[in-house]
Amino acid sequence: MNVRRLIPAAALAGAVALGATALTACSGAGAAESGGKDGTLDVTASFYPMQFLAEQIGKDHVKVDTLTKPGVEPHDLEITPKQTGQLADADVILYLKSLQPAVDKAVAQSGVKNVVDAATLTKLEAHAASGHDHGPEGEGEEGHDYAHGEAGEDPHVWLDPAKYAEIAKGVGAALEKADPGHAADYKKNTDDLVAKLTALDTEFKDGLANTAGRTFITTHSAFGYLAERYGLDQEGISGVDPESEPSPARMKELQEIAKKENVSTVFFETLASDKTAKSLAGDTGLKTDVLDPLEGITDKSQGADYFEVMRSNLKNLQKALGAK
């Protein structure tokens, strides 16, 4: 996916209000009706899932720049001085609080009033790396309860198409308020995107309804929402940090789970090392495959956009779980 460069805005976008929890509003300097210099709205997105929503909903009425470039692991992002300047010039910022601490800090210091926090547009939940109740030994010291953010919520909501659709509705409403002159187009584009996400949700429900197994092992514990939505059990090698090293006890536990649950495949992702996945697979005689958390799109991704990669994830899950 090509990311268009940000053109500095002549003024901040105008009044934006998306409920008390979703969007901070403040009257701008006259940019509300027309957006930036050429009539477009300048949007800065924190990482790919936010970028995709802005592009799909805004289309020709927005110029979208992303802080997390293709191939960069979002959790580890550091903000450059140039990016700090880009943030300050944005009409609208889309981000997901608690996923990227550096972004949270930069957004708070940017001075931009039209800020959409996707975490306020749907209900976040806490998910553990383990989908099974393994007792006290599966918690605490061994790090199986991977809290993320101040309240321990899992931020990976975009991997649940139904929750992603809720966020899309909120982003669409925010763009309508920021650029009322094109509100009808934003509304139509949002409705179209939500319909596609609803269809994708149905594809996952139908595709995973009848499988020989329900447990999958993955290096990155990013799939809690997906697992919960479709009745699966996620077993993470590491927590929300895909580069963290699992303990020997956790690796032994996963070997036992794989045997008990007839797990055939250990999943890894394209933006992080596959070393631990291959190590576990080698010790247990399992196969490896890709389950992409969709934190970025590169030439190694199994698809060119959100929908293509999600359908590749579905296909890989069906294969690993023995879909009937």
Any domain includes 57: no
Tokens of 180: 């009322």
Question: Given this model, what pLDDT does residue 275 score?
Answer: 76
> Which element (helix H / strand E) includes 42?
strand 41-45
Question: Given this model, what pLDDT does residue 38 score?
Answer: 75
Tokens of 166: 């809720």
Query: How far is residue 89's CA from residue 85's CA, in Å, rounded to a whole number?
Result: 6
Count up the domains in the chain and report the number: 1
Q: What is the pTM of this model?
A: 0.82
Any domain includes 25: no
Question: Given this model, what pLDDT does residue 37 score?
Answer: 54
Question: Given this model, what pLDDT does residue 241 score?
Answer: 52
Instruction: For residue 232, give the 3-state DSSP assignment.
Output: coil
Our measurement of the distance from residue 88's CA atom to the centroid of its chain's CA atoms, rounded to an integer in Å, reads 23
Question: Given this model, what pLDDT does residue 164 score?
Answer: 98
Computed from CA positions of residues 119, 298, 41, 166, in that sequence, does the dihedral angle turn out positive or negative?
Answer: negative
CB 114 within 8 A of CB 94: no
CB 64 within 8 A of CB 171: no
Tokens of 285: 């005689």
CB 68 within 8 A of CB 296: yes
Any domain includes 159: no
- Bin 39: left if φ > 0, else alpha if -120 < ψ < 50, else beta: left
Q: Parallel, antiparallel, or unpaired for β 41-45 and 62-66?
A: parallel
> Which element (helix H / strand E) includes 48?
helix 48-58
Question: Given this model, what pLDDT does residue 73 score?
Answer: 87
Question: Given this model, what pLDDT does residue 26 score?
Answer: 36
Identify which of 111, 105, 94 has the alpha carbon closest to the alpha carbon of residue 48: 94
CB 92 within 8 A of CB 32: no
Query: How far is residue 256's CA from residue 111's CA, in Å, rounded to a whole number?
Result: 51
Question: Given this model, what pLDDT does residue 239 score?
Answer: 57
Any domain includes 255: yes
DSSP per residue, 76-112: G----HHHHHHHHH-SEEEE-TTT-HHHHHHHHHH--
> Which element (helix H / strand E) includes 234?
strand 233-236
If one counts every other C-beta atom within 10 angstroms of the C-beta of residue 291, the result is 28
Tokens of 302: 């199994």
Question: Given this model, what pLDDT does residue 36 score?
Answer: 55
Which structural domain, as residue segments, surrounds residue 205?
200-321
pLDDT averaged per 10 residues, the chain (length 324): 39 36 37 58 97 98 96 90 92 96 95 95 87 40 38 89 98 96 98 98 98 92 95 83 68 89 88 73 84 94 97 98 94
* Continuous H helices in 134-223: 161-178, 183-207
Any domain includes 88: no
Any domain includes 274: yes
Residue whose structure tokens are 């006890």: 249
Query: How far is residue 240's CA from residue 147's CA, in Å, rounded to a whole number?
Result: 8
Any domain includes 19: no
Question: Given this model, what pLDDT does residue 248 score?
Answer: 81
Instruction: For residue 211, give the 3-state DSSP assignment.
Output: strand
Any domain includes 149: no
CATH number at residue 232: 3.40.50.1980
